[in-house]
């Protein structure tokens, strides 16, 4: 029996005890550290807690949100929130991260169900990552939940958490899930040349969200509650499609969106994978730069004996396919944060490579 | 234990952030949890030292190192402080430091052993002042060995000295896309390539013992990288001995094309001086000068023509002098059992006529020349010079004259032997010494 299943059973009593607690009514004053100290527990941030088995905002100005195409993260269930200082707003931009003011705090919580197909099952929350801005710079910390979901404690050195669960397709998955160290947060959050959030850009936010008061486009909602200024009508704002939704765009559009979300944060001209010369942002236009007939450089065994990053028409001859199908940390891409195969993502990328025209010789 | 960890983590955090902790020492020992050691690496303050006590540490995840300036990671010595990744499940490297472009971050690694990483031993991206001293990297129990042992890339002022690297499936000491580099007094063995200086400017490689690799050293320049145009590289006073290990690199990698038994090679660089080295018992070739077309692109599929004016696929201004050669080229290819391996193509092109082709020996003294050039050239005099070496012959494979038929090349029609033709000194030589980075 897997550690996860055993853990679920062992903690079941506590878990359900936690689920029956009502939301915290304690007064809690959010305070974003400006002196480089880091709160020791998630509760100190006064932003979210686990209530009735799910991540719950602790105040009305904590705004939940989602992204059109997220990072795969071993198939984790994710919950995101943002809170801006009272009266403050982010400034809109078409390209890149929205202009968030000092004092902005994001949370992103990661959990799994024992069987992802059964949404009535409780979610075992593993960690909540906090990202905050002070004096113009972003910082990170992950908070590791106890099994009962009652307390999350800072874990600056990270941890590998190994367990098993059944995925949405009914397949058993056994990830070595990575709670990142502080520096591993920065390893991905390194674009463009500075530490910054990845998700909160128009291209990922420009979609509907089911708020308690009704469904609304997120950019429109943020504008109307006053935390975003300068945004155009969502119809005129950039949007990358939901990669997983066949109706959301062409195969190429969805595959490029998937590659940007899962690879582009490192594979861009200033990111950590810049040394490879392979750039997987959706705006990269030179085919050789996004891998077509590009020879791998320092990939070593990561190339799997294949000659080019992408061979048009031949996913099985393409290094990219090899690396997104790999699970050894020596060869898997992205390099951290994925230890099991995203079969839907692989299928999409392969469909795109298959329809690419041309040849490398 | 939990309480202990919290305190340690808090200590590491405080040091990460408080300038009052500059210059402090953070002690770690093998009894600490991996997460606590990782927190110390992650949170290291400017100018602090992470002092790693003797013993064996076991890690599942890459240790990502703080990008604060001047961090020192120090162990009790090679074989004393042992960092072991045999159980690695996350991250590809052992230790990794990622500095964004334009950084001015110094870092030092000294006195420990890294073993059995799934990927590279230590990778530093974007450093300025990067010092490796008395660091060992090896793969004693893994079947599949990682790519690079010591791997600074896009860095400036790199000094690698007194290190010991063995078993890398690509290169033991690999310096890529960097500037101002000194690699000295290292022992590098049983890797595919011992030392490689790639897409780099201003390097001195000296007093190293690179033996029993597939190839002793490489000075290469590859297309389609952010820094191209490698130049000003001196390789002098080294031992390149018995580099005859069968090439076990991934077939798609560049080093996979290098034949076993090669002392050293330069590809597509300008201003390279190779002198006063001892090449002993490298049974395919002593030192080879090749173009991108030969080293990267025997399939002629255009990878070497990039449109980037800074990328020159041809080697130029190369001076090979004062070296001592013995036992060169006596049994080319004999350690490439697999004739479908990419390294076979290059070996065959450079040393045709010898086994296993079993044709007539073309070479004086019945062995491949000590120094050889692929002869691929478009226009002009590239100033490839070789003189004052012991026991030297020089041959020009003149591949540009060959109608390339990889299945059946007949180099006997084009290959030339004229030692006097290469007795020259390139314009502007000798090259200046590289200032040794100080720490």
Q: Collect all residues of chain B within an 8 Å Cβ-Cβ radius of residue A330.
A: 92, 118-119, 144, 146
Q: What pLDDT, on the 0 to 100 scale, is given for residue B252?
A: 74
Question: How close B98 comes to chain A (CA, Å)?
Answer: 7
Q: Do B148 and A40 touch (CB under 8 A)?
A: no
| Cα B348 versus chain centre, distance | 23
pLDDT-based confidence at residue A35 (cuts at 50, 70, 90): confident
Would you state the pLDDT for residue B346? Answer: 64
Contact B389, B371 (CB under 8 A): yes
Query: Is A300 close to B41, i.e. CB distance below 8 A?
Result: no
Q: Considering chain A, what is the average pLDDT of its residues?
A: 90
Query: Does pLDDT of A99 surpass 90?
Result: yes
Cβ of A38 within 8 Å of Cβ of B17? The answer is yes
Maximum alpha-carbon separation in chain B:
78
Confidence at residue A7, expressed as pLDDT on a 0 to 100 scale: 38
Q: Which residue of A has its CA nearest to B304?
A: A295
Instruction: List beta partners, residue A63.
Output: A82
Q: Which residues of B touch A323 (CB under 8 A)?
A: none
Per-residue pLDDT at A14: 30
A24 vs A13, A144, A291, CA distance in Å?
A: 20, 19, 50
**Minimal CA separation from A81 to chain B, in Å:** 25
Write the pLDDT tens digit of every residue in A211-243: 999 999 999 999 999 999 999 999 999 999 999
Chain B residues with CB-CB distance to A304 below 8 A:
250, 252
Contact B197, B232 (CB under 8 A): no
Residues of chain B with Cβ-Cβ distance to A157 below 8 Å are 9, 12, 33-42
Give which of B142, B252, B295, B299 to mutate to test A binding, by max A Cβ within 10 Å. B252
Average pLDDT over residues B64-79: 97
- Confidence check: pLDDT of B309 > 80: yes
Q: Among all residues of chain A, which has the CA nearest to that of B2? A: A153
**Is the predicted ipTM greater than 0.90, yes or no?**
no
Amino acid A269: pLDDT? 87
Is pLDDT at B361 greater than 80 in this prediction? no
Nearest by CB to residue B98, choosing from A156, A162, A272, is A272
**Least reliable range by pLDDT among A60-64, A113-117, B97-101:** B97-101
For residue B405, pLDDT over 60 is answered with no
pLDDT at B25 over 90: yes
Quick one: average pLDDT of B373-387?
82
A chain contacts of residue B40, beta-carbon cutoff 8 Å = 157
pLDDT of residue B242: 97
The answer to whether B176 contacts A298, with C-beta atoms less than 8 Å apart, is yes
| Rg, Å, chain A Cα set | 21
Identify which has the larger pLDDT, B280 or A25: B280
Q: What is the spatial distance between Cα A305 and Cα A133, in angstroms, rounded to a whole number?
A: 43
Query: Residue range B348-377: average pLDDT?
Result: 63
Q: Between vectors from CA B244 to CA B241 and to CA B245, what angle results, nearest 5°?
A: 120
Contact list in A for residue B176 (CB cut-off 8 A) is: 275, 298
Which range among A30-34, A314-318, B34-38, B433-437 shows the weakest confidence by mean pLDDT? A30-34
- Asked if the Cβ–Cβ distance from B38 to A158 is below 8 Å, we say yes
Which of left, alpha, beta for B386 (phi over 0: left; psi -120 to 50: alpha)? Answer: beta
Residue of B nearest to A328 (CA): B89
Q: How much is the pLDDT for B255?
A: 87
Closest Cβ–Cβ partner in B37, B64, B296 for A183: B64
Q: What is the average per-residue pLDDT within B115-142?
A: 96
pLDDT of B403 above 90? no
Report the distance separating Cα B306 and Cα B313, nearest Å. 9
pLDDT at residue A163, rounded to an integer: 96
Which pLDDT band, with edges at 50, 70 and 90, does B409 fall under?
low
Q: Is pLDDT at A296 greater than 70 in this prediction? A: yes
Mean pLDDT of B258-265: 91
Residue B231 has pLDDT above 50, yes or no: yes
Say what the pLDDT of residue A21 is: 40
Report percent pLDDT > 70 for chain B: 81
Confidence of residue B348 (pLDDT cuts 50, 70, 90): low
Q: At B358, is the pLDDT very low, low, confident or very high (cuts 50, 70, 90)?
A: very low
The per-residue pLDDT for A23 is 46
Average pLDDT over residues A168-175: 96
Do the chains contact at A298 and B170, CB–CB below 8 Å?
A: yes
User: In the A/B pair of chains, how many CB contacts fall below 8 A?
Assistant: 184
Q: Say yes or no to pLDDT of A192 above 70.
A: no
In 3-state terms, what secondary structure has residue B411?
Answer: helix
* Number of other CB atoms surrounding residue B356 within 10 Å: 12
The answer to whether the CB of A293 falls within 8 A of the CB of B240 is no
Nearest-angstrom CA–CA distance, A23 and A26? 9
Best residue in B22, B90, B406 for a mutation probing chain A (most A CBs within 10 Å): B90
Q: Do A157 and B35 touch (CB under 8 A)?
A: yes
Closest CA of chain B from A265, distance in Å: 13
Query: Closest residue of B to A334, CA-based?
Result: B91
**Could you tell me which chain A residue has the CA closest to the CA of B90?**
A329
pLDDT at B10: 36
Provide the 8-state DSSP code for B436: P
Report the alpha-carbon distance of residue B397 to residue B48 in Å, rounded: 54
Of B152-161, B236-245, B359-368, least confident by mean pLDDT is B359-368
- Number of neighbours of residue B56 by Cβ within 10 angstroms: 12
Model confidence band, residue A304 (pLDDT cutoffs 50, 70, 90):
confident
- Kindly identify which residue of chain A lies nearest to residue B147, measuring between CA atoms: A300
Beta bridge pairs of residue B71: B107
State the nearest Cα–Cα gap between A259 and chain B, in angstroms. 19
Q: What is the DSSP string of B112-168?
A: EEEE--SS-SEEEES-EEEEEEEEEEE-SS-SS--SEEEEEES-EEEEEES-EEE--
Q: Out of B35, B147, B176, whose CB is closest to A158?
A: B35
> Residue B414: which pLDDT band, with cuts at 50, 70 and 90?
low
Q: What is the DSSP letter of A254?
A: H
pLDDT of A121 > 50? The answer is yes
Average pLDDT over residues B33-45: 95
Q: Is the peptide bond before A192 cis (omega within 30 degrees of 0)?
A: yes
Query: In the prediction, which pLDDT does A79 show?
Result: 98
Distance CA A22, CA A45 (A): 19
Cβ–Cβ gap B252/A306 under 8 Å: yes
Which of A157, A193, A274 minimises the CB distance to B37?
A157
In this complex, the residue of A160, A193, A328 whose CB is nearest that of residue B100 is A193
Each domain of chain B, given as residue ranges in start order, spans 217-439
Share of chain A above pLDDT 70, in %: 91
Is the pLDDT score of B235 beyond 80? yes
Q: Do B169 and A275 touch (CB under 8 A)?
A: no
pLDDT over 50 (residue B144): yes
For residue range A236-288, list pLDDT tens digits in order.
Answer: 999 999 999 999 999 999 999 999 999 999 999 888 888 888 999 999 999 99
């Amino acid at each position: 029996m897997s550690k996860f299943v055993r853990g679920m059973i062992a903690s079941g009593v506590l878990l359900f005890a936690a689920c029956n607690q009502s939301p915290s009514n304690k007064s809690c004053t959010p305070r974003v550290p400006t002196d480089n100290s880091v709160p020791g527990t998630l509760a100190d941030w006064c932003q979210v807690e686990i209530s009735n088995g799910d991540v719950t905002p602790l105040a009305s100005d904590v705004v939940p949100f989602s992204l059109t195409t997220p990072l795969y993260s071993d198939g984790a269930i994710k919950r995101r929130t943002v809170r801006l200082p009272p009266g403050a707003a982010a400034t809109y931009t078409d390209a890149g991260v929205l202009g968030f003011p000092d004092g902005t705090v994001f949370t992103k919580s990661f959990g799994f169900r024992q069987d992802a197909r059964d949404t009535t099952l409780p979610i075992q929350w593993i960690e909540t990552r906090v990202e905050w801005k002070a004096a113009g710079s972003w910082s990170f910390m992950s908070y590791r939940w106890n099994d009962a979901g009652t307390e999350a404690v800072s874990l600056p050195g990270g941890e590998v958490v190994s367990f098993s669960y059944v995925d949405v397709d009914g397949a058993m998955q056994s990830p070595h899930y990575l709670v990142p160290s502080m520096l591993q947060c920065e390893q991905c959050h390194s674009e463009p040349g500075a530490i910054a959030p990845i998700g909160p850009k128009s291209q990922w936010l420009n979609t509907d969200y089911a708020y308690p008061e009704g469904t609304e486009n997120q950019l429109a909602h943020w504008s109307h509650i006053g935390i975003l200024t300068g945004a155009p009508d969502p119809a005129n704002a950039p949007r990358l499609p939901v990669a997983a939704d066949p109706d959301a765009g062409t195969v190429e559009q969805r595959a490029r969106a998937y590659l940007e979300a899962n690879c582009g944060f490192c594979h861009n001209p200033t990111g950590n994978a810049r040394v490879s010369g392979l750039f997987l942002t959706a705006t990269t236009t030179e085919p050789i730069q996004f891998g077509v007939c590009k020879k791998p450089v320092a990939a070593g065994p990561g190339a799997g004996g294949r000659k080019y990053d992408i061979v048009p028409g031949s996913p099985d001859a393409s290094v990219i396919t090899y690396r997104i199908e790999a699970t050894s940390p020596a060869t898997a891409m992205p390099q951290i944060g994925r230890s099991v195969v995203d079969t839907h993502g692989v299928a999409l990328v392969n469909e795109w490579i298959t329809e690419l025209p041309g040849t490398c010789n | 234990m939990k309480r202990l960890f919290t305190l340690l983590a808090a200590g590491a955090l405080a040091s990460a952030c408080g300038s009052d902790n500059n210059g402090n020492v953070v002690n770690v020992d093998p009894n600490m949890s991996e997460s606590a050691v990782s927190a110390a690496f992650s949170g290291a303050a400017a100018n602090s030292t992470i002092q790693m006590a003797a013993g064996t540490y076991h890690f599942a995840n890459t240790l990502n190192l703080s990008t604060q300036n001047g961090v020192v990671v120090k162990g009790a010595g090679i074989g004393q402080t042992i960092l072991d990744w045999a159980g690695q499940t996350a991250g590809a490297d052992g230790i990794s430091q990622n500095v964004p472009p334009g950084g001015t971050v110094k870092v030092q690694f000294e006195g420990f052993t890294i073993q059995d990483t799934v990927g590279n031993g230590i990778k530093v991206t974007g450093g300025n002042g990067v010092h490796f001293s008395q660091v060992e990297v090896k793969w004693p129990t893994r079947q599949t060995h990682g790519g690079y042992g010591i791997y600074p890339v896009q860095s400036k002022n790199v000094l690698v000295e007194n290190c010991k690297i063995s078993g890398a499936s690509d290169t033991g000491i690999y310096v890529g896309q960097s500037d101002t580099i000194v690699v000295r007094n290292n022992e590098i063995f049983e890797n595919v390539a011992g030392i490689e200086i790639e897409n780099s400017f201003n390097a001195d490689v000296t007093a190293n013992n690179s033996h029993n690799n597939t190839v002793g050293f490489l000075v290469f320049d590859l297309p389609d990288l952010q820094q191209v145009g490698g130049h000003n590289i001196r390789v002098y006073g080294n031992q390149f001995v018995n580099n005859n290990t069968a090439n076990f690199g991934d077939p798609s990698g560049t080093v996979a094309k290098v034949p076993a038994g090669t002392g050293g090679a330069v590809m597509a660089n300008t201003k390279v001086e190779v002198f006063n080295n001892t090449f002993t018992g490298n049974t395919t070739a002593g030192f080879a000068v090749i173009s991108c077309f030969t080293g990267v692109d025997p399939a002629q599929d255009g990878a070497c023509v990039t449109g980037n004016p800074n990328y020159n696929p041809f080697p130029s201004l190369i001076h090979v002098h004062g070296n001592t050669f013995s036992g060169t080229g006596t049994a080319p290819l004999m350690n490439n059992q697999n004739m479908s391996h990419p390294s076979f193509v290059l070996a065959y092109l450079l040393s045709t006529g010898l086994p296993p082709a079993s044709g007539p020996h073309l070479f004086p003294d019945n062995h491949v020349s000590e120094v050889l050039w692929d002869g691929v050239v478009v226009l002009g005099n590239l100033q490839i010079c070789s003189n004052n070496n012991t026991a030297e012959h020089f041959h020009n494979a003149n591949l540009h004259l060959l109608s390339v038929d990889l299945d059946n090349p007949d180099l006997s029609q084009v290959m030339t032997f004229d030692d006097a033709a290469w007795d020259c000194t390139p314009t502007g030589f000798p090259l200046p010494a590289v200032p040794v980075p100080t720490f």
